[in-house]
Structure 1
Amino acid sequence: MPKGYIIGHITVKNPEAYKEYVERDTPILLGLGGSFIVRGGQSEVLEGESLERHVVIEFPSYEAALAAFNDPEYQEVAEIRRRNAESTIIVVEGA
């Protein structure tokens, strides 16, 4: 079965407040079967436009990734990200 991924492209607007999101989302997503593959780090846009920060979280399946994103506990914490960052979040099935 193909794995599922949550991919986030994020530009943090309020770094101090965003720290709470990172502290609280990590245990939730790990507990839902996620594994952080990419979390920030150096990047370079070679074509097109993008936000500043990139995150890739691997899940056992596409359905598990969707369920994790839609989890009520995660959605509560996601409001912190929405208030303090610009973001694009994508759920994708792996090859």
Structure 2
Amino acid sequence: MPKGYVIGHITVENPEAYQEYIRRDTPMIAAYGGRPIVRGGTGEVAEGPDFARHVVFEFPDYESAKALYYSPEYQEVARIRRENATSMIVLVEGV
């Protein structure tokens, strides 16, 4: 079965408030079987819109990635991200 991924490109505008998002989303991601593949680190935008931060979380399957993202609990926490950062989030089925 193909794995699922949540990929985010983010520019944090309020780093202090954004820490609450990270603190709360990390255990949720793990609860849905997700694990970080990329979380921050040095990056370079070679093409397209410039975002400062990039994350990739791998899930056992696409349905698990979608279940996390669309869960009411995550959507409550995602509000913190939306209020304190500009982001693009992609849910994708992988190999």
- Could you tell me the TM-score, scaled by structure 2's length? 0.96
User: Unaligned regions of 5+ residues in structure 2, if any?
Assistant: none
Matched residue count:
95
Partner residue, 1:24? 24
Deviation of 1:48 (Å): 2.7
CA RMSD of aligned residues (A): 0.8
Report the 3-state secondary structure (helix = DSSP H, G, I; strand = E; otherwise coil) of the residue aligned with 2:23.
Answer: helix
- Does 1:37 pair with 2:41? no
Residue identity matched to 1:92? V
| Percent identity of paired positions between Structure 1 and Structure 2 | 64
Question: In 1, distance between residues paired with 2:36 and 2:23?
Answer: 14
User: Unaligned regions of 5+ residues in structure 1, if any?
Assistant: none
Where do 4+ consecutive residues of structure 1 move more than 4 Å? none
Question: In 2, distance between residues paired with 1:66 and 1:12?
Answer: 23
Question: In 2, distance between residues paired with 1:3 and 1:33?
Answer: 11
1:21-65 CA deviation, whole Å, 9 max, x = no partner?
000000011111100110000001122333110000000111111
Question: In 2, distance between residues paired with 1:30 and 1:77?
Answer: 15
Partner residue, 1:66? 66
Partner residue, 1:89? 89
- Could you tell me the TM-score, scaled by structure 1's length? 0.96
